[in-house]
């Protein structure tokens, strides 16, 4: 029998070619090559420290791994194509190491299973991706704060049910999205902490008989500590599911922002104008200027939501410990990271490029009776119960609709016909600008409060940039 599988000792016949094809994860887990080499170097270092590897074996293994690292880095595509029939990246690297240095390579897998090897590689890879995504979230949040600074006094209609509700500033609106992405940033930070534990040394499921120094490999790989339980160490994919959830919710937030931008760019709203460099046209209709970027983001959110559902379904029926089902944890994860990163980056570039049609926003804010609540509040301040005041303003709005008027067009006499407590100053009190600036409650839309929110946002961002940089350096 000729079976070159590294695990083929028990086999009495060659594996079926269809099994080889079905079983292979090399086409997608190839991208874990850097993490696999880093993990192997840490494992070899530990084996040398506990006298499993001689100094000569160690030197050969390290030099061989660094040679492989240089080979792949020089031409990933060529290295992949030569070994595309391999079972996975872990076997491919071990085979190449054996070809380079001979018997010393056969000692590297001592006290290690692919189960803990894969789990370690994936945690290392995902930690690096998490840092990149967190940096992009910081970029997006900085963009939103800059827009809020620029648009702090820009009046626009606020909406509920997509109907005119109350006047707000555009700066306040940008900051609402900033808050959502701030929570996303915090979620990714929390996930890094829970995921940053070292499975290496868990073996296949039960640990090993060797006196491993798992604290050493944890330190070398930038982990907080070893996983406490070897069964959990090889089977846990909570860190994948949590990451997928955080990614899915971030994509939901991107999709919601995209939906608004699509509406605002429409002829019916006309609140914003798209930059030509970030818009497309029609192959048939020469007048078109299409918001493809936010539409694609809105569409790609469905993929990421699907990837979350996929990992949850994979995990729901698995007994301890490792099961081959867990090979399905990667393709969806890789797809999520790829799409989330491009969506975050293109969103903040897109936002920087749009032009605000101030006059359209202001004109929209003047209509729709956005100042009706302020009219009711005017009466409340004169001691009128809110429900009575609410009814009076409802009558005023109904009158305006029948007579094609705005509330600011009403005469003092007309106001008094709705309630005797109205006086001539009501017209000034319900001017849209005054309605906005009176909203001084904490977190409100007045320019004063928006400026405070901006200052606080910059302070948070400055602290988080520093903290993220320190954390990333410590893990590298």
Task: Tell me which residues are annotated as active site.
Answer: 161, 282
- Distances in whole angstroms, Cα of residue 194 to Cα of each of 36, 68, 126, 263, 436: 21, 31, 12, 39, 43
Taking Cα atoms as reference points, which of 191, 194, 204, 193 lies closest to residue 233? 204
Reading the block at residue 244, the tokens are: 């997928």
Q: Tell me how far apart the alpha carbons of residues 61 and 59 are, in angstroms, rounded to a whole number.
A: 6
**Alpha carbons 204 and 112: distance in angstroms, whole number:** 7
d(CA 166, CA 390): 15
Tokens of 285: 């209709």
Run of H or E residues at 166: strand 163-169
Separation of alpha carbons 356 and 107, rounded Å: 65
11: alpha, beta or left? (left if phi > 0; alpha if psi -120 to 50): beta
Closest CA to 171 of 6, 19, 356, 312: 356
Identify the residue whose tokens are 């602290």. 463
How far is the C-alpha of 302 from the C-alpha of 310, rounded, in Å?
A: 12
Q: CA–CA separation, 399 vs 110, rounded Å?
A: 85
Among 250, 236, 243, residue whose Cα is nearest residue 332: 243
Give me the helices (H) in 404-446, please.
412-418, 426-429, 432-437
């Amino acid at each position: 029998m000729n079976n070159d599988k590294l695990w083929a000792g028990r086999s009495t016949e060659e594996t079926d070619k269809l099994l080889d094809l079905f079983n292979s994860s090399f086409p997608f887990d190839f991208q874990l090559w850097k993490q696999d080499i880093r993990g192997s170097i840490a494992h070899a270092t530990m084996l040398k420290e506990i006298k499993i590897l001689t100094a000569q074996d160690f030197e050969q293994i390290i030099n061989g791994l660094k040679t492989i690292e240089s080979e792949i880095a020089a031409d990933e595509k060529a290295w992949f194509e030569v070994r595309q029939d391999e079972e996975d990246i872990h076997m491919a690297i071990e085979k190449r190491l054996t070809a380079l240095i001979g018997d010393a390579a056969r000692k590297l897998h001592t006290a290690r299973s692919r189960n803990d090897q894969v789990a370690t590689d994936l945690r290392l890879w995902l930690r690096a991706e998490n840092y990149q995504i967190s940096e992009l979230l910081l970029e997006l949040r900085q963009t939103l704060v800059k827009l809020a600074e620029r648009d702090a006094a820009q009046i626009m209609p606020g909406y509920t049910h997509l109907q005119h509700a109350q006047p707000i500033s555009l700066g306040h609106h940008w900051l609402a999205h900033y808050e959502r992405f701030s929570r996303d940033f915090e979620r990714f930070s929390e996930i890094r902490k829970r995921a940053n534990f070292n499975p290496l040394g868990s073996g296949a499921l039960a640990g090993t008989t060797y006196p491993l120094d798992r604290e050493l490999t944890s330190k070398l790989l930038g982990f907080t500590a070893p996983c406490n339980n070897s069964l959990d160490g090889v089977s846990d994919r909570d860190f994948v599911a949590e990451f997928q959830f955080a990614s899915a919710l971030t994509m939901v937030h991107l999709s919601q922002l995209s939906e608004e931008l699509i509406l605002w760019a429409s002829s019916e709203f006309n609140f914003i104008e798209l930059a030509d460099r970030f818009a497309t046209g029609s192959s048939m209709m020469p007048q078109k200027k299409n918001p493809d970027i936010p539409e694609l983001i809105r569409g790609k959110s469905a993929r990421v939501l699907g990837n979350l559902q996929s990992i949850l379904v994979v995990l729901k029926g698995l007994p301890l410990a490792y099961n081959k089902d867990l090979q399905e944890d990667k393709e969806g994860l890789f797809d999520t990271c790829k799409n989330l990163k491009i969506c975050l980056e293109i969103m903040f570039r897109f936002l920087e490029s749009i032009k605000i049609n101030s006059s359209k926003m202001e004109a929209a804010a003047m209509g729709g009776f956005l100042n009706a609540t302020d009219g009711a509040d005017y009466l409340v301040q004169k001691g009128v119960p809110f429900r009575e005041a609410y009814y009076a303003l409802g009558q005023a709005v109904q009158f305006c609709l029948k007579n094609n008027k705005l509330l600011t067009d009403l005469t003092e006499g007309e106001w008094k016909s709705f309630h005797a407590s109205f006086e001539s100053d009501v017209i000034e009190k319900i001017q849209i600008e005054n309605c906005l600036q009176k909203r001084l409650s904490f977190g409100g839309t007045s320019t004063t409060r928006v400026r405070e929110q901006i200052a606080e946002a910059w302070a948070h961002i400055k602290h988080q940039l520093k903290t993220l940089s320190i954390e990333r350096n410590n893990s590298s």
